[in-house]
Chains A and B, each alone.
Chain A
Amino acid sequence: MTETTNQSKPNRPEFRNIHAIKDLTTYRMPAAAIVSILHRASGAILFLLLPLIAWTFGKSILSEVSYTSLTSIFRDGASFLPGWFFKLIAISVIWAFLHHLCAGLRHLIMDLDHSKTSKTFGKSSAQVVFGISLLLTLALGAKVFGFY
Chain B
Amino acid sequence: MTTTTIKNPASKTALRHWKGQRITATLIVIFTLLILAQLVFAKGPLGYELWAGIFSPTWMRLLTVIVVLGIAWHAWLGMCEIFMDYIKSAGLKSGLQIFTALWLLGSVAWFVSVLWKF
Residues of A within 8 A of B (CB): 2-5, 7, 40, 43-44, 46-47, 50-51, 53-55, 57-58, 60-64, 67-68, 101, 104-105, 108, 111, 136, 139-140, 143-144, 146
Contact = CB atoms under 8 A, between A and B. Distances in A.
Contacts of B32: 101
Given A51-B103, A54-B114, A108-B22, A61 B52 contact: yes
Contacts of B118: 61-63
Interface string B25-64: 1101100100010011010011010011001000000000
Contacts of A2: 85-86
A98 B113 CA distance: 26
Contact of A64 (B48, B88, B106): B48
A23 to B, nearest CB: 17
Per DSSP, chain B at the interface is helix
A144 B26 CA distance: 25
B48 A144 contact: no
A46 B75 contact: yes
A104 B40 contact: no
Interface residues of B, number: 36
22 contacts: A5-B89, A7-B88, A43-B78, A46-B75, A50-B71, A51-B106, A51-B107, A53-B107, A54-B110, A54-B114, A57-B111, A58-B111, A61-B55, A61-B115, A61-B118, A62-B117, A108-B26, A136-B36, A139-B40, A143-B39, A143-B42, A146-B45
A3 B106 CA distance: 29
A96 B88 CA distance: 28
Nearest to A105: B29
A101 B29 contact: yes
Interface of B: 22, 25-26, 28-29, 32, 36, 39-40, 42, 45-46, 48, 51-52, 55, 71, 75, 78-79, 82, 85-86, 88-89, 100, 103-104, 106-107, 110-111, 114-115, 117-118
A48 B115 CA distance: 21
Contacts of B29: 101, 104-105
Given A61-B55, A105-B29, A111-B22, A50 B40 contact: no
A-B pairs, top 10 by smallest CB distance, nearest first, are A58-B114, A146-B45, A67-B48, A54-B110, A50-B107, A54-B107, A64-B48, A47-B75, A5-B88, A43-B78
A43 B29 CA distance: 14
